[in-house]
Amino acid sequence: MTFAADTAGTWTLGDLTVNRIGFGAMRLPQQGQAFAPGAVPRDRDQAIAVLRRAVELGVNHIDTAAFYFSSLRSANELINRALAHYPDDLVIATKVGPARDSSGEWLPMATPRQLRGQVEENLRQLGRDHLDLVNLRVGGLDSITEHFAVLAGLRQAGLIRHLGISNARPEHLAQAQAVAPVVCVQNAYGLGYRRNQDALLVSCGEQGVAFVPFFAIAGAGREAGAGGDEPEEVLAIARAHGAGPVRVRLAWALHRGPHVLVIPGTGTPDHLEDNMAAGALRLTPDELARLDVVHRAAQER
């Protein structure tokens, strides 16, 4: 059975309504671990086919960045090639702050003056005249006020529609909100991973701000992807639903609140459809309680 992205419902980012299951483009440019030296570029036609299939399944929220690239592939270029002319309801979220040089090496966090160039780079690569959503990815900054003010100015100029923050702490959210409206917080989070984000997730919901977890599947595996042994409770619940553990992990994240938007990424059609099916997986109160025990125990180790 094929499931669509709208099975988990919708959320509104500012004035843009998106399905709660989106798509993360980080894995599109290469096979295996993202950002790994010498990573093998993914087949271009396959990556384009996955993007088009995602939209066919109702995905209207795609997360990307100019620094998502391999030696031959750029996520933004693939999105442009696959989806332009863009569907009217498609929201493309990108990130600025970090950058990589042409060899793939990471550069220092962008200065406020460099952010406009990063925004314009995303515009060029995506073939857009404005960006739907730009997240400032915080990289070791105690204060983001100056950086966020630059993005707020670009929003006023019409280059950006909505703003968010990524890899952020609660104080960063307060700093950003003092400058301009924030529609989302995008942080690493998942079952048994980064439980210290629990309070921020709840706070975002209380304020009407979307919480967008990345690594919701991979957890501590991060860019390398999911790996290692799954807790028996996860496997047991997956068996009870005739599903795999990935679907259970995504469903658990979606159950954390109606403001939680997941952005699982993949380069294969089969994995894409399995991710979409997570929206239709309804976990029982007992199953959620058992998974919460797993979540808390993993953080205590």
pLDDT above 60: residue 216: yes
Confidence (pTM) = 0.94
Residue 225: which pLDDT band, with cuts at 50, 70 and 90? Answer: very low
Cα distance between residue 66 and residue 61, in whole Å: 17
pLDDT above 80: residue 120: yes
**Residue 77 confidence (pLDDT):** 97
Q: In the annotation, is 86 catalytic? A: no
For 220, what's the count of Cα atoms within 13 Å in the CB-facing half-sphere? 11
pLDDT above 90: residue 57: yes
Averaged over 139-158, what is the pLDDT?
Answer: 97
Determine how β-strand 160-166 pairs with β-strand 131-137: parallel
Q: DSSP character for 131?
A: E
Domains and CATH numbers, the chain: 14-228+256-280 (3.20.20.100)
**Residue 301 confidence (pLDDT):** 43
- The proportion of the chain whose per-residue pLDDT surpasses 90, expressed as a percent, equals 85
Buried b (16+ CB within 10 A) or exposed e, 154-164: bbeeebbbbbb
**Residue 273 confidence (pLDDT):** 93
Among 68, 86, 189, 193, the one annotated catalytic: 68
Buried b (16+ CB within 10 A) or exposed e, 124-150: ebbebeebbbbbbbbbebeebeebbbb
Cα distance between residue 22 and residue 275, in whole Å: 9
pLDDT above 70: residue 223: no
The alpha carbon of residue 13 and the mean position of all alpha carbons in its chain are separated, in whole angstroms, by 14
**Residue 224 confidence (pLDDT):** 43
For 30, what's the count of Cα atoms within 13 Å in the CB-facing half-sphere? 20
**Residue 38 confidence (pLDDT):** 79
pLDDT above 90: residue 174: yes
Averaged over 158-187, what is the pLDDT?
Answer: 98
pLDDT above 60: residue 226: no
**Residue 188 confidence (pLDDT):** 95
DSSP, collapsed to helix, strand or coil, labels residue 6 as helix
Mean pLDDT (the chain) is 93
pLDDT above 80: residue 282: yes
**Residue 89 confidence (pLDDT):** 96
